[in-house]
Amino acid sequence: MDQQMPLVSIIVPVYNVENYLKECIDSILMQTYKNIEVILINDGSSDSSGKLCDEYKEKDIRIKVVHKTNGGLSDARNLGLDICKGEYISFVDSDDYVSPIFVEIYMQAMQEGNCDIVAMKGGTDFWDGDVFKPVLANRRDECRMEYLEPRVVLEKMLYQQIATGAPFKFCKKKLFDKIRFPYGYLYEDVATTYKLFLEASNSAIIYGDLYAYRKRRDSIIRQKFNEKKLIALSIFDQLVQDENLNELGLNKAACSRVYAMLYSVFLQMPHGSEKEKRRIWKKLKTVQKTVMLDTSKYIRKKNKYASWISLLGMHCSYQIGRKFGQKGAMN
């Protein structure tokens, strides 16, 4: 390893991904930026994922493997944060893969802009089973960097102009000194990644195909409604009531973000679950006007449409939203 290059810790939570793990790890090990440690957190996998982790550990000294009982994505990421040694932090989901210049481009943006955090606009997504997978960038000139104040990047993220997820963030480890992912949550990234920008002094956005994001129909978020998804109610309150966001003038942006999240949960609810639907509907109504009257250039049209349709009432909003394919698509 080139000790002149700062160490980058890449944290990879692993859970029952034996069909995807090799592609993920291989893509990380092929990085042009060599001074990395790859932390594989086997979160109680019941397939051969744990064995694969151990096999890779024997092949490359940059790999660390931890086996633990299943605790969920947040718990695995937090353990990685607790043990990592890098000055910089990146997360990669174990069913995805990255460009060979993934870390190099991030580090270039970090160093040229003296950044504490860099956000990617988003991943290049594809459905599991697609015949053709995304071909990712191989050259620097295939990527563009935009240096902006953290408040501006955060505003874009809350308005969903750039991705919310942790794998699309690269930051100095110090930002996590007081931040961890909430244990047992779904939508944990919505509850967490915005806080990193509140701790940052300088930031940037990268535009380029650096991360291939696999969409799986059996993923937790895309599965049918279950009670765990009601954690979205707590996250809704967290962002709407966050004093730091209010002080930065980002309350409307926060309302737009959580409205999209909670409305998506609302549309996933099965017919007959009137009690739960009314609980969510009551919460949505508290920010309906804020979203409806928001004039920001960043607000998504589908959020505005949903807020206006809500004037027709809960049942009409539910039927129209599901009919026109918004079910699960507003996250």
Give pTM, 2 decimals.
0.95
Residue 328 pLDDT level (bands cut at 50, 70, 90) = very low
pLDDT digits (tens, 9 = 90+) for 193-221: 999 999 999 999 999 999 999 998 766 55
Q: Average the pLDDT over 139-156 and give the result.
A: 98
pLDDT score of 1 more than 60? no
Burial profile 89-109: b = 16 or more Cβ within 10 angstroms, e = fewer: bbbbbbbbbbbbbbbbbbbbb
Do the beta carbons of residue 167 and residue 210 sit within 8 Å? no
Q: For residues 280 and 74, what is the distance between their CA atoms, to the nearest angstrom?
A: 24
User: Residue 271's pLDDT is what?
Assistant: 84
Q: Hey, is 183 helix, strand or coil?
A: coil
Residue linked to tokens 């969510």: 280
Can you tell me the mean pLDDT for 295-301?
Answer: 97
| Digit-coded pLDDT (tens) for 247-271 | 999 999 999 999 999 999 999 998 8
Residue range 8-215, CATH number: 3.90.550.10
pLDDT above 60: residue 185? yes
Enumerate the domain spans of the chain: 8-215, 227-323
Residue with tokens 């003296």: 114
With 60 as the cut, is the pLDDT of residue 311 above it?
A: yes
Q: Which segments of the chain does DSSP mark as H helices, in order?
A: 21-29, 49-59, 73-83, 102-112, 150-158, 188-199, 231-240, 243-247, 251-268, 274-285, 288-292, 301-309, 314-323
What pLDDT is attached to residue 3?
47
**SS3 assignment, position 147:** strand
The position carrying tokens 């718990």 is 75
With a cut of 50, say whether residue 286 has pLDDT above it: yes
